[in-house]
């Protein structure tokens, strides 16, 4: 399982980090991102963290957390 956050959809509610602090962090504006791979969605969520990931995924009120069985395509916005 792979995940990333759509920053435009995050309202900084804080639930994802409450549920899965190992996976989600916040930038200086309180917008969530995936700590595992700097929100690229390219690093598989470690098995022991899957339960907390699913709790965060279902808790997010805006659907800002995406998940996928495959790595997400590279985000060109952040590449140099
Ligand atoms: Fe944002 Fe959803 Fe987390 S709104 S802070 S991604 S639970």
Domain ranges across the chain: 2-69
Mean per-residue pLDDT, 37-64:
98
Give the per-residue pLDDT at 79: 44
Residue with CA closest to ligand 1 atom 2: 60
Structural class in CATH, domain 2-69:
alpha beta
Residue 76 has pLDDT above 60, yes or no: no
CA distance 10 to 45: 20
**What is the rounded average pLDDT for all residues in the chain?**
94
Q: Ligand 1 — pocket residues by CB below 6 A? A: 5, 10-16, 32, 59-62, 64-65
Complex confidence, ipTM:
0.98
Ligand 1 atom closest to the CA of 62, numbered from 1:
4
Instruction: Calculate mean pLDDT across residues 24-30.
Output: 95
Is 50 exceeded by the pLDDT of residue 80? Answer: no
pLDDT band at 75 (very low <50, low <70, confident <90, very high): low
Q: Can you state the percent helix, strand and coil of the chain, rounding each to 5?
A: 30, 20, 50
């Amino acid at each position: 399982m792979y995940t990333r956050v759509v920053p435009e959809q995050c309202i900084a509610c804080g639930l994802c980090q409450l549920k899965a602090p190992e996976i989600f962090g916040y930038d200086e504006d309180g917008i969530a991102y995936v700590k595992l791979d700097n929100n690229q969605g390219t690093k598989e969520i470690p098995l022991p963290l899957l339960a907390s990931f699913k709790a965060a995924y279902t808790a997010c009120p805006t659907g800002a957390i995406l998940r996928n069985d495959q790595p997400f395509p590279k985000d060109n916005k952040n590449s140099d």
